[in-house]
Amino acid sequence: MKKRVLFLCTGNSCRSQMAEALINHDFAGQVEAVSAGTEPKGLDAKAVQVMAELGIDIAGQSSKHISAYEDQSFDYVITLCGDANEKCPLFFGGVKRMRMGFSDPPRTSGSEEEVLAVYRQVRDAMREQIGAFLKQEFAGQGGK
């Protein structure tokens, strides 16, 4: 049975959107990942761009408010920023909750290439860290 993961961020525009797509891509058949925000802002164009560089199309994804999932169950709720962690409602009780903080690429200043470099760095760090966490979890449960 697939594990369900909810990624939370404040705006559900960048980090949580990338995490959702990366995990659905890398753990296809094992994990169903979704994402939401405490204050959804719309999909970030640069997040779409850096995910496309990996051949992962997120252009059709949309920002969702956390309330869209209040009647659903998850195996893991992973917050990707401190604000979302503090605002994560109690209706997600009984699941494994954790915080994995990553810098917020839209707050980066500099040239276009410098900004995109931060998006790529955060994308790659999330893929590495969240992927390693899930592999460890599955290994501990006798899964892949």
Annotated catalytic sites, by residue? 9, 81, 88
**Cβ-based burial of 38 (10 A; exposed 0-12, middle 13-18, buried ≥19):** buried
Q: How many CA atoms lie within 13 A of 31 on its CB side?
A: 27
User: What stretches of 69-111 show up as alpha helix (H) in DSSP?
Assistant: 82-87
CA distances from 105 to 3, 38, 102 (A): 28, 18, 9
